[in-house]
Amino acid sequence: MSEPKAPTILVIDDDAEVRYSLGRVLSSKKYQVLEAGSGEAGVAAVKKGPVPDLIFLDVRMGGMSGLEALQHIRSANPKQLVILMTAFGTAQTAIEAMKYGAFDYIMKPFDPAKVLTLAENALQAHADMRSAGDYKPTINADDYREGIVGASPVMQEVFKVIGQVTASDVTVMITGESGTGKELVARSIWKHSHRAKGNFIAVNCAAIPDNLIESELFGHEKGSFTGATNQRIGKFELCDRGTIFLDEIGDMALATQTKILRVLQQGEIQRVGGTDTIKVDVRIIAATNKDLEAMVKAKTFREDLYYRLNVVRIKMPPLRDRRDDIPQIVDFCLQNLVKQKKARVAKVSPEALAVLARYDWPGNVRELENLVYRSAVIAQGDAILVKDIPAEVLASVGASPLHAVATNGGSTPPIATVSGSTVPSAVVPEPVFAPATGSLAGSSAVAYTVAGALDFLQVELSKEPEPLLERLEREMIVRTLRQLEGNLARTAERLGMTRATLRKRVDELGLQQS
């Protein structure tokens, strides 16, 4: 098998000494280095082709400046990765460099180690872009107008219950962690009910002070309290023949709970400071992320109101319990961002998806939506790459912008399906057997996608002397032993070899039981 072609790097600088020194540094890693002595020559080289994998571009040159050249280069090839070089690290230079799509910039004089790190980061991003090239959306966002996305078994159960409660006016309690989509479920119930022509009003009980919540819900009469200069119609009156969604109802004061109970029992309210009884026909859907049963026992939530509200309960699962839905949610977010012209990115690399599927998402779907938006805005190509994911997320799963690498002593989370390919949604747990030369507790396992496996191996093999077949054999033996809890007989049978042969290969490869 022929060796993979070395990446091509074009150095554009009007200083021959800079081109020479930078070329020597990059050549030390077997990169093929090309040179251009001016911005004009560099732009012409890019347009003529072949297109380099990476460009190092000086900012200050005679004739066409580096920033001008950058704009011409990115206009000719929006995916071209460019690292700017400058001796003047001003705020303006940094801002304009990133504004016009530079991958990064580096200060002169160069630190060779930093040059090579930047080049490696950029070339890995280039490889990720290629792997994202065949990306196909898993859904059409127009089919999910209500915003509830997911095909996992737990979400299918949620959809079933929504369908069952829309035909009646039964009171619904939606529970789950913050950010799981409780309001979306409430809106879906309303839209599919016979009250769809009436109003839907959402009230966040935790966001309104106790002294104002009753006025917000039931209205008030003029002069009923300081500042009440006019009569106000409350949310329940505005929602007559419609649906009111009481979010975070566990934060509601006991006095207000009593009045909510009256609405449920008698269908009537009184404005604050008023004496007239007003009939209202309102369906109540409540939601909370708190343990209402515990609050009832602690007498901080009325037991009679709890049973009135909790006629049908819908429990929203946290995102970490439905990782299979992450690719669909990402697609939904990206398509909406493009449609709203908030971002131009419509793809995500398989490597980035694997990292997202590994993260635990304490903020659930809301956090994922925010991350996709943030990553899409800063992405420099047409796809979200691993490097575009926030550093704190990468760190939490043991990943880096170069490779999604981590160790994990737990079980492997579910598999995500992307564009017809199976993508490991997490790193592989630490093996039962480990190299004798390393820690007996195990070694880091590399998370990679099926689509990017060959590219990954080529990159890794350039760093380690171990032959490809031996490396693959080691990984296969280690992973099979882990899966079968170190059972040599079952592992040998699974791998199609005798137990004696397996024991011999374990010894030869330097593996020993941890």
Say which CATH number the domain at 500 has. 1.10.10.60
Q: Are 437 and 494 in a shared domain?
A: yes
Residue finishing a domain among 319, 351, 368:
319
Residue 136 lies in a domain: no
Q: Burial letters for 361-386: b for 16+ Cβ neighbours within 10 Å, e otherwise?
A: bebbbebbbebbeebbeebbbebbbb
pLDDT over 70 percentage in the chain: 85
Residue 130 lies in a domain: no
pLDDT above 70 (res 466): no
Q: Are 438 and 425 in a shared domain?
A: no
Write down the pLDDT at residue 487.
Answer: 81
Residue 123 lies in a domain: no
How many structural domains does the chain have? Answer: 4
Q: Which residue has the tokens 């070339």?
A: 123
Domain CATH code at residue 358 = 1.10.8.60
Measured in whole angstroms, the distance separating CA 64 from the mean position of its chain's CA atoms is: 40
Which residue segment(s) compose the domain that 197 sits in?
158-319
Confidence of residue 96 (pLDDT cuts 50, 70, 90): confident
Q: Are 415 and 444 in a shared domain?
A: no
Write down the pLDDT at residue 445.
Answer: 30
Cβ contacts of residue 163 below 8 Å, gap of 6+? 192
Q: Are 194 and 289 in a shared domain?
A: yes
Write down the pLDDT at residue 455.
Answer: 42
Confidence of residue 467 (pLDDT cuts 50, 70, 90): low
Residue 260 lies in a domain: yes
Q: Are 285 and 343 in a shared domain?
A: no
Q: Are 258 and 288 in a shared domain?
A: yes
Write down the pLDDT at residue 416.
Answer: 33
Residue finishing a domain among 319, 350, 377:
319
Q: Are 398 and 444 in a shared domain?
A: no
Write down the pLDDT at residue 3.
Answer: 60
Confidence of residue 184 (pLDDT cuts 50, 70, 90): very high
Residue 119 lies in a domain: no
Q: Are 187 and 297 in a shared domain?
A: yes
Q: At what angle do helices 468-483 and 488-495 cross, to 10 degrees?
A: 130
Q: Are 289 and 374 in a shared domain?
A: no
Q: Are 415 and 439 in a shared domain?
A: no
Q: Residues 42-92: pLDDT tens digits? A: 999 999 888 899 999 999 898 999 999 999 998 888 888 899 998 776 777
Sign of the CA dihedral running 121, 123, 124, 125? positive
Q: Are 438 and 347 in a shared domain?
A: no
By the 8 A CB rule, do 358 and 447 touch?
yes
Residue 126 lies in a domain: no
Q: Are 165 and 305 in a shared domain?
A: yes
Write down the pLDDT at residue 397.
Answer: 87
pLDDT above 90 (res 500): no
